[in-house]
Structures are given as C-alpha cells and as structure tokens.
Amino acid sequence: MKRFIARFAGVAGALALSVAAAGCSGSPAGTASPSGKASITFWGWAPGYADAVKAFDKSHPDIHVTYQAVQPGAKGGYQKMLNAVQAGNAPCLAQLGYETLPSFAAQGALENVAKYASADEGDYQKAAWRSVTLGGNVYGAPVDTGPMALFYNKKVFDSLHLKAPTTWAEYRSDARRIHASDPHRYISSPYMDYDYAGLAWQAGAGWFTTKGDAWRVTMDSAANRKVADYWQGLADDGLISSAPMYDQAWYTGLGDGDIATVVGAVWQAGVIKGGAKSGAGQWAVAPLPQWKKGGTQVGNAGGSATAVLKGCADPKAAWTFAHWLSTDRTAFGGLVEKASLYPAATSLLDLKQLGPDPYFGGQNIYKVFAAAAPHVNADWTWGPLMTKTVADLDDGLGKAWSGKGTINAALRTAQDKTLAEMKKQGLRVAP
C-alpha cells in the first residue's frame, strides 16, 4: 500500500539548522540502564495501548514498560510532552502524530535511534518509514496510516433515498435534504486542527512549502480559500451541527442519526464504535467525495509513531518495544479491534481483524481505505511549528464554526502568527 505522509526529503534542509542547534542527533541525556531489567515509560492515548503494554511485559522479562494515558496531542498531550522534555523528566516513548514530528525535531525533543532501528526499516511501508526519519536520523517506529473516507449513517441516507455522495456538490445537496427532513439533523459537525487539514490536503491546498532552507506558509492560498468557502457555506446555511467533535453531544448525534456523516481517517471507525454504540448497524463507509466527478484524490488525517523522546536513558529498550508494538500480530490485532488502526508494517496487512465489521452492517470497511491509500494527495508538507500553528488555527476555527468569524479569517490569522513565530525562533522564511 502506498501512502505519502510528509515529504521529509523536502523539509530536511529547512529543519537542518534548527535541529542541529537543538542537538537532536546527540547522545541520550541519561545513562544506559544498568544490567538487569530495563524500565521505560510510554505516554499515549490510543485505545488498546494499555493492553498491548501488558502483553509486552509478559513476553519480555528483561524490559518493563509502564504505560501512562495522556490527553490526545492536540488536546494538551503534545504540550505536556514538550514541557517534560524541557524539564528533563520526559518518558522514553510517546505517541506522536506524523504531522507533529517535524515540530518536535525542530525543538530538539526527539532522540535519534538509528543505530538500533535502521536494521528494521524493511518491516515498514516505505512512506511510513520516511515519516519517522529526517536527515538520516530515525526518531521512532511507524504505527499506523490515516487515509480518509466518508463515514455515513446509511439508515438516514436510505430513509431519504440517498446514496453516498461521490462529489462535494452532491454532499451539499444531500446536506440540504437531510436537514430539511428534520431540523435536528445535520450533515456533519465542525472540523478542527488535523481533521480540517485533511479536507485541505485532499484539494491540494497545502499549508507549507520549502525553498532551499527557507519556509513558505501558504494557508491563505486561493486553493485554501476554495475549501474554506465550501465549508463556510454549509455552516452559513445551518447544515453543520454545533456539537464539537469528540464531545458527548457529538457521540449522541452519531448514535441517534442527528449527525449523518463524519469525514475522517480509518481510525475514526474506532472512535465512532466506542462512543456511539447505539448507532451499531446503521453506519457504512464510502470513498471520499471528490471536487471533480471521477476524481480520486484523498486526504490524510492522523497516523502516528511511537517516538523516542530526548533524554531517554535506554533507547535500545525503547526501540525494542516500539518496533514490537508496530509489528506483533496479536498486539496490533488488538489495536485494530479497539482503535481501528491501519498498520504501517507490511507484514500485518492481512490481519484477520481487517475484515467485515458488524458495527458497519458487516461491511469490510478496510477495503475502502486500502483502495484510498494509494491516492492520498502527495503534495503536502507539514510545518516546523505545528503545535503552535494548530493552536492558533483552532482558536479561529472555533469562532468560525460558532458564527463569530470565518474559516478564511482563521487560516489567515494562523498563517500570520506562524510566520511571526518562525521569525522569532530564527527559522528562515521565504517571501
């Protein structure tokens, strides 16, 4: 399966100076574990990680892993990790989205484990491996990939004699039909941070490009304004639910049919199944609607690595666990069941868990995502300060979805603040 996550080859030059200054490729701050049982800590939030850690501890008597659940990255987890690195008390391992890895590298928050990891490169899809490497350094193990599709309430669509939309124009038309059928029904809900990025990604509306060792921020481009105008139009017409994604009101809407679709990555299946149990048997998955009829472009949302944080005293043990988590059939099968993760390891693409799902009416939703993966739009680069960029973007998007601003204004403000922060940190900015 082909999937492009972030063009690290293209950003290597732009990050080189900041990474070198931060000493990302240096030796661990601590000392190697003494002889005997190694002990490492792992921070993450994906459902199923705790069970996987227990299984590892039982099968690896020489290494003990302590798992600690933290808030999802954009909800505060990433800032907690960065604070811990700065304070010198970070765990060895952390769940880190591919989109955020360049930011952590630029801030000197990652440990290079190439000497332990390079021999295992062939175990992963090439694009996934590229997502955890930069300038010859390896910063963790790829876990999953995140091509996008359309989750839709088939019961609602069938009741209105609607088929899954194949274009965004059809999606808008369906939105009007759905809301007209019941004023409490909406086509979708507000998209924030990396969920919104996936919408832009599909349309080729990039946020960052590089020129030599300089960055150009393009969040306010014409292509981005096109995507923003489309979703702003749905919001202005009252077709978007006010329930924030991942809040209880959102899960309730998914369960009772008041929110009819979710545009999201494969891992959203686990989120929907876990939070909207009353919707079992009602939901299905279809290919992502296209901007042009007959198109095949797909966006990406998410996908993560088990990253080794700066200062890890036992990077060898850390890599042993990280690689095991991504490649063990039993452990990853549990992650598929609990979190609907789609494996980055090539040997796991035939897992029995990647089959028909009763929650989705017996549909094998993974076939949809497998077909989508090769069409993820390759023209996308993540910026070096995504934690800051996304925080500023979310502030504006929150106002836009609630009618107190616009999506275009949110993108423009996030761009301006990102550029200002880049200059403040000494990163080169292209005109």
Which amino acid, one-letter code, is at 155? K
Indicate whether 17 pLDDT > 80.
no
pLDDT band at 378 (very low <50, low <70, confident <90, very high): low
pLDDT band at 72 (very low <50, low <70, confident <90, very high): very high
- Kindly state the percentage of the chain with pLDDT values over 70: 91
- pTM summary value: 0.79
Q: In the prediction, which pLDDT does 134 show?
A: 78
Query: How far is Cα 121 from Cα 423, in angstroms, rounded to an integer?
Result: 35
123-141: average pLDDT: 85
Query: How far is Cα 24 from Cα 382, in angstroms, rounded to an integer?
Result: 18
- Half-sphere exposure for 194 (CA within 13 Å, toward CB): 26
Indicate whether 16 pLDDT > 70.
no
Q: In the prediction, which pLDDT does 337 show?
A: 87
Indicate whether 21 pLDDT > 70.
no
389's tokens: 């960029």
Domains by residue range for the chain, with CATH: 8-146+302-353 (3.40.190.10), 148-300+379-424 (3.40.190.10)
Number of residues written out for the chain = 431
Which position has the token pair 């088929």?
163
Higher pLDDT, 31 or 115: 115
Note whether 396 and 411 are within 8 A (CB).
Answer: yes
CB atoms within 10 A of CB 414: 24
154-166: average pLDDT: 98
Q: Which helix (H) or strand (E) holds 292?
A: none
111's tokens: 């440990």
Label the pairing between strands 93-97 and 38-44: parallel
Least confident of 7-16, 269-278, 282-291: 7-16
Note whether 135 and 17 are within 8 A (CB).
Answer: no
pLDDT band at 408 (very low <50, low <70, confident <90, very high): very high
Mean pLDDT of the chain: 89
